[in-house]
Amino acid sequence: MRSRYRRGTLLLGAPFALGALLLVVGPAVVTAGYAFTSYDGLSPAEWNGLQTFRDVLADPELHASLRSTGVFLALAVPVRVLGGLLLALLAQSGRLSGATRTAVFAPAVLPDPATALIWLWVVNPLYGPLGLVLDGPVLVDRWGARLTVVALSVFALGEGFLVTLAARRELPPELDELARVEGASAWQRLRRVTLPLLAPVLLLLAARDVLASMTMALVPTLLLTRGGPLDATKTLPLLVYERGFREGELGEGAALAVLTLLLGLAAFAVALLAVRLLRPRH
C-alpha cells in the first residue's frame, strides 16, 4: 500500500514537476547564462564574464531602484503579513462570515491588469472615490504613488490569510484554554501563546512576500506609474523589464534578474534560519 501511495503521488506530481522544469528552471538557467554576456537579442551573444555584473552594480539607476524597492518592501510586507494575521484571528474567532472570507480571498485570483485598472479608477482625480476625497492627482506625488502601489499589493493578501488561518487552526487548543484558566486576558493569550507559536509561519510568509509583493506589483506599476514619478516606484523587477525588453540590453537585464533572485534567496535563507532558531526544542 505504501509503495502504491508513493507511486500515485509521483504520478500526480509529475505534470507539475515537468511544467516547473520547462517554464521555470529552464528559463532561469538560460537567463543566468546570458547574465555573463553582452547580448541585445539581435546579434550573437558575446561572452563578457563578470564585466556585466560590474557594469550593473556601478549603475546609479540600480542604486535608485534598490532604494525604491527597500521602501516598497518595508511598507508592503509587514502590512501584508499583519493583515493576513488579523483576518485569520477574526476568522478563527467566528467574526468573519463565509461571504467575507470569499471577499478577502477574491482579489488574489484577479489578473494583475484587472487589479491595476480597478485602482486606476479608485485614484482617478476626476471620478475616483479616493481621488475625490484627496482632491488631487495621487499618482504624480512620490509618496502618493508609492502608497498606491503598496495598497495594490496589500489588496491581494488572500493566500497569506489562508495559510495563517490554517496554521492558527493547527495550534493545540489546550494551551489557550490553560492560559484562560490561569486568568490570562485575550491580549496576554495572543502575545504569550498564539504569536510565539505562529512566529515561524509568519516569518516564512514574510520571506515569501519579499518576492511575491514585487512580482505582483510589476504589471500594475507598469500600467499606473511606469516607475514614476522621479523613479519613486521603479523597483528591481521593473528595472529588469525596462533594461532587458525596452532598452534591448538583454545581458544586463539578465544580470539584474540574477541579482534580484539572489536578494530574494537571501531573504528566504534568513527566514529559514530564524524559523530554525525559533523551533521549540524538546
Sign of CA dihedral 244, 250, 253, 258: positive
Q: Which three cell numbers stand for residue 235?
A: 523597483
CATH code of 157's domain: 1.10.3720.10
| Rounded distance between C-alpha atoms, residue 147 and residue 141, angstroms | 10
Q: What is the pTM of this model?
A: 0.82
CB 192 within 8 A of CB 88: no
Please indicate, yes or no, if residue 237 is contained in any of the structural domains.
yes
Mean pLDDT, the chain, rounded, equals 84
The secondary structure element, H or E, covering residue 46 is strand 46-47
Cis previous bond, 137, omega within 30: no
∠242-246-251 over CA atoms, to 5°?
75
Question: What's the pLDDT tens digit per position in 139-172?
Answer: 888 888 888 888 888 888 888 888 898 888 888 8
Does any domain span residue 185? yes
- Cβ neighbours of residue 156 closer than 8 Å, sequence gap 6 or more: 107, 108, 110, 115, 216
Quick check: is 247 in a domain?
yes
Note the pLDDT tens digit of each residue in 83-120.
889 988 888 887 777 777 788 888 878 888 888 888 88
**pLDDT (mean) for 17-37:** 86
Can you tell me which residue has the cell 463565509? 98
pLDDT at 265: 82
Asked whether the beta carbons of 161 and 87 are under 8 A apart, the reply is yes
Residue 174 placed within a domain: yes
Q: What is the CA radius of gyration of the chain?
A: 22
CA distances, 226 to each of 97, 222, 275 (Å): 38, 4, 37
Is residue 28 assigned to a domain?
Answer: no
Going by C-alpha positions, the residue among 240, 248, 196, 204 that lies closest to residue 222 is 240
Main-chain phi, psi angles of 42, to 5 degrees: -110, -50
User: How many domains in the chain?
Assistant: 1
Q: What is the pLDDT of residues 54-78, one digit of tens each?
A: 988 999 999 999 899 889 889 988 9
Q: Tell me, what's the pLDDT at 271?
A: 76
The pLDDT, as a whole number, for residue 280 is 58
Percent of the chain, pLDDT > 90?
1
Range of the domain at 118: 36-277
Distance separating alpha carbons of residues 90 and 79, to the nearest angstrom: 16
Q: Is residue 249 part of a domain?
A: yes
Question: C-alpha cell of 169?
Answer: 487552526
Question: Is residue 71, in this structure, part of any structural domain at all?
Answer: yes
Whether 26 maps to a domain, the answer reads no
pLDDT in tens, 182-229: 888 888 888 888 888 888 888 888 888 887 877 777 888 888 888 888
Which residues share a beta bridge with 38?
Answer: 46
- The identity of residue 169, as a single letter, is R
Q: Give residue-wise pLDDT tens across range 240-282.
A: 988 888 888 889 889 998 888 888 888 778 877 877 776 655 5
Residue 76 in contact with residue 154, Cβ under 8 Å?
yes
Task: Say which residue the cell 523587477 belongs to.
Answer: 237
Q: Return the number of other C-beta atoms located less than 10 Å from residue 45's C-beta.
A: 16
**Which pLDDT belongs to residue 281?**
57
Burial of 12 (0-12, 13-18, 19+ CB in 10 A): exposed
